[in-house]
Structure formats: structure tokens, C-alpha cells
Structure 1
Amino acid sequence: MTRLSVVVVHGSFSDIYQQEFQGLLAQVKAQINHPVLGAYLECSDVSLAGAIAQFLQSQSCPPDQVQILPLFLLPGVHVREDIPEAIAQLRAQFPQVTFNLLDYLGKDGRLAPFLAPQFSPNSAAQRILIAHGSRRTGANPEIEKLAQALDAHTAYWATEPSLVQTLERCQRESINTFSCVPYFLFSGKIPGAIAQQITTLTEADPHLSIHLGQPFGTNPQCVQAIAQILNT
């Protein structure tokens, strides 16, 4: 039995996002004993189903098993609807191939070990985990559970509580020192905007101190974990 692993990300027009994703792919491929294809769900001229179909059609001996790993941190609409719809199209187009959808990367807080070292070692700093957030039912509770395991408050970019709201709530308790970690795999527009927002906030309030971690997708431990999932 031959296998193809497909690593799916949201996608971005950001050059640094694309560079970091390609870097992750290269590191994962070095640890995998079968072909690995990287694919974007959005921000690409080729759809997810189209990218996988093109690969299968280009092979003289196509794999008979395809496993798809969503590199997503929340169970939002992409994980619950868009990716399964793409797989349904592929199953109809390639009935001889078995397509398996793996759990999304962020499920069950399994990324906590990669996030914990990102926080400042300053024990006086209040931890905040900053995620994109989702208005989909059942999505944000996953973040809350992860934040609890990390002994951190939560803040969201696309929903509430926002970073400003979380900071203000803590400051009412006389907390002014924070360690914030972005729950993002790659750098790009939103992590960059978060960094700029933190710079603006600290410049406006001399009593406010915020340490900001970095996206963790290219962390060697994260790469190894992805490789282990695909090799299972």
C-alpha cells in the first residue's frame, strides 16, 4: 500500500507566512518515509481538491491511500465543512483511492508543550494566550481549555474578549506585567498586527510591560509532532 500525506493550511498572501510554511514542509518531509504535499485552502489559484487531484494525476503509480492533516488550531468552518467537502469531491473523482481525514492539529490541547516555553520566565507576569477566535459553536472552548492548562487568560483577535479587554480586566486587579503568546502557527498579517497593537499599548502606558512570544509552527518540536502523526 502506498501513501500520500497532505498537510493543509489556511493560506496567506504574506511572503513570510508562505516561507515559514515551506520551511515546515521541508523539515517534515525529511522525517517522513512517503510523499508529503502541502496545500492551501484559501489564497491560492488552485483549490484544495484541485491540488490533490493534480498530484494524483501526475503520478505514474498514484498512491492508494491519502491522509489529510488540517494544520488548523480551531474546529471552525474550514475544519468542519470546507475540508470534508473537498474530500467528498476527491472520493467521487478517485473511487480507487482511500481518503482519510485526520484530526486537526490543535485538537485536545496537544500543542500545549510547544506553547509553554514561549511564555516569559518572569513568574510575576500574567500569562495571556492570544488566538484568532471563532464565532462557531464549540470552537473557543478549546482555546479556553488550552489556556487553563497553561495557567493563562485568553484574548481573541476576531471575537471577545479582545486583548485590550483582557488587559484592562487584569489591570483593575493591579496587574501590569504580562507575557502574551500568539496561538498562531506562522507569522503574517494578524500576528504582525498583534505585535503592533502591543507596541502601541506599551508606548501609551509606561506602567504596562508586555513580553510577546512568537508563532510556533517552525518549532522543531512541533515539526517532529507533525511528522509523528503522519508516520502513524
Structure 2
Amino acid sequence: MSSAYLLVSHGSRDPRPEIAMQHLAGLVNHKLQKSISPPKSENIVGIAYLEMSSKPLHEQITKFAQSALAGGCNRLKIIPLFLLPGVHVMTDIPTEIALAQQTFGQDIIIDLEPHLGSKPGLEKLLTKQMATIKTQAWILLAHGSRRPGSQQPVETMAANLGAVSAYWATSGSLESRVKELIAAGKREIAILPYFLFTGGITDAIAQSVEELKLHFPTVTFQLAQPLGASAELADLIWELILYT
């Protein structure tokens, strides 16, 4: 059964995440085409957005599915590029997929794959990023959610990485974690943004780190980059596609 793939992210008004998504889709498409004999002339990897798009997600899925069907694919796999299993992954995206599936009946099967954050290899990728910075303490900074249980994956990831967790939009703020580490005697602190791409929030995080440098001049702060549209991330998505 021939498949096409649609990478779905949250969406943003900032143009940088869309550029990164396009680049990432190109990397994944290249890897897939190399595995197909003969390669297809058209892209079999597309991108779509849950929010901040001119069309709802189910219409974006329908449009790409029509293209995939015309290209000889009879299965479309939706890959949520979300780091956490929140309401978007658990409820919103499945609802949109169901709406799109109604358009096609059995002509093309639309499957929902596991979200990116469920992939064990993500931890290895973050560890590789951390290895480039020498510091006494790490903070894993995620967006945060008030949904019950939503922060547990962040807590687990932080513990596995030897970091402490912090949240941008909920309690357990970056500044509070910094103060706790300073009280514990740490004078070198690095922050790892648990986000896919550079955008408005990561810009705000960078500004917050500059303010922390002014407030705590005896402490050295370093800010790592978000995951980004790297070849390593494309490899992780490729593995997710292969083994699901």
C-alpha cells in the first residue's frame, strides 16, 4: 500500500516556523524518495497547520489527500509535530481527520500516527544539543499547560536529561527555577527551550534570559536553540514513519 505523509504543526503568525516546516518536509521527502523504487515525481510529504491557517485543518488534509490519491497513494499518514500529548493531539487533530475521511470513504485511508514527542529518540537529540554547552545546571523550559497531567512528560524528560523543568505559561516559571538553582549554589545555568522552532516565544525567552543576566550578574547564563529543522530531526521523523 503506497503512502503519503502530512506533517501537522500548531501554526504561527510568525513566518519562521512555516519556513522551518517547509525545510523539514523537504528533508523527510528526500529520505522517503530514496527508499522508493522508482522515486515518485511529486512530493509525498506535505505540511499543514492546526491553527493560524486560512483553511481549517480538515480542508488542508483533504487537499493534500486528493493530490496523494492522484499520485497513486491510497494511504495518508498524519504525523503531529507536537512535543506533548495535549488537547490538540488527543482531541482536535483526530476530529479534523475524521471530517476529512468522510470526503473519501475508502478511496484513501487517513491514519493518525504517534506525535513526535512520543518518540524515544527525541531524548537523544536533546542530549546531543546539551553536549555542546558546558554548564553546572540545565533548565528544560516548556510552554506549559493547565490540562491535568499534561506536564508529566516534561517532568520525565527533564529528569532523564538531568535537568530541572520550567514553564513559560504556567507556574514553575523560568525565574523561579533560576532562583532555586542559585540558592543551591549554581553559578552556571543553561536553558534548553523545549520547542520545535524559533519564533515569537523563543524570542521572548531570549529577552527574558538577557533580563536574568542583569538581575544576577554573578551568574553565567547560556541559552540553547530549539530543535529546529535539522537533518537529525528529519531522521527522527523518518524512524517514526518506518516503525509505525
TM-score (norm: length of structure 2): 0.89
Equivalent-residue separation in structure 1 for 2:126 and 2:153 (angstroms): 15
Question: Which residue pairs with 1:91 in the alignment?
Answer: 101
SS at match of 1:43: coil
Per-residue CA shift, 1:2-31, capped at 9, x if unaligned?
A: 211111000111122221111111111111
Letter paired with 1:49: H
Residue number in structure 2 paired with 1:193: 204
The range that moved more, 110-119 or 206-215, is 110-119
- Of the three residues 172, 188, 213, the one matched with 1:177 is 188
Deviation by residue 1:117-167 (Cα, 9 ceiling, x = unmatched): 222656552011011111112221001111111000000111120101111
| Counterpart residue number, 2:111 | 100
After TM superposition, the structure 1 stretch with the greater mean CA deviation from structure 2, 138-147 or 16-25, is: 16-25
Out of 82, 91, 99, the position equivalent to 1:72 is: 82
Letter in 1 for 2:194: Y
SS at match of 1:145: helix
Q: Which stretch shows the higher mean deviation, 6-15 or 203-212? A: 203-212
1:22 aligns with 2:22: yes
Q: CA–CA distance in 1 between the matches of 2:2 and 2:135?
A: 52
Q: In the alignment, is residue 41 of structure 1 matched against residue 38 of structure 2?
A: no
Of 91-100 and 151-160, deviating more is 91-100
- The answer (yes or no) to whether the contact 2:8–2:81 under 8 Å persists in 1 is yes
TM-score by length of 1: 0.93
**Structure 1 spans left out of the alignment, 5+ residues:** none
SS in 2 for 1:99: strand
Question: Would the alpha carbon gap of residues 89 and 121 (structure 1) be closer, same or farther in structure 2, given more than 3 Å must change?
Answer: closer
Contact kept in structure 2, 1:32 and 1:231, CA below 8 Å:
no
Distance in 1, Cα, partners of 2:192 & 2:4: 33
CA distance in 1 between counterparts of 2:31 and 2:150 reads: 31
- Structure 1 counterpart of 2:58, one-letter code: A
Is 1:144 aligned to 2:155, yes or no? yes
Cα distance between partner residues in 2 of 1:184 and 1:177: 22
Alignment partners' CA distance in 2, 1:6 and 1:164: 37
Counterpart in 2 of 1:208?
A: 219
Q: 1:61: how far off?
A: 4.9
Do the aligned residues in 2 keep the contact of 1:32 with 1:230 (CA within 8 Å)? Answer: no
Q: Distance in 1 between matches of 2:131 and 2:220?
A: 11
2:48 maps to amino acid:
A
| 1:53 alignment counterpart | 62
Letter in 2 for 1:221: E
Say what the alpha-carbon RMSD is for the aligned residues.
1.7
**Partners of 1:74 and 1:106 within 8 A in 2:** yes
Structure 2: segments with no counterpart, 5+ residues? 34-39
For residue 7 of structure 1, give the secondary structure of its aligned residue in structure 2: strand
- In structure 1, give the amino acid aligned to 2:50: L
Paired amino acid for 1:220:
A
Count of residues in correspondence between the two structures: 232
Larger deviation, residues 7-16 vs 48-57: 48-57
State the SS of the aligned residue for 2:233.
helix
Q: Contact 1:3/1:63 (CA < 8 Å) preserved in 2?
A: yes
Match of 2:36 in 1: none
Identity across aligned pairs (percent)? 35
In the alignment, is the contact (CA less than 8 A) between 1:129 and 1:152 conserved in 2? yes
- Look up the SS of the partner of 1:197 in the other structure: helix
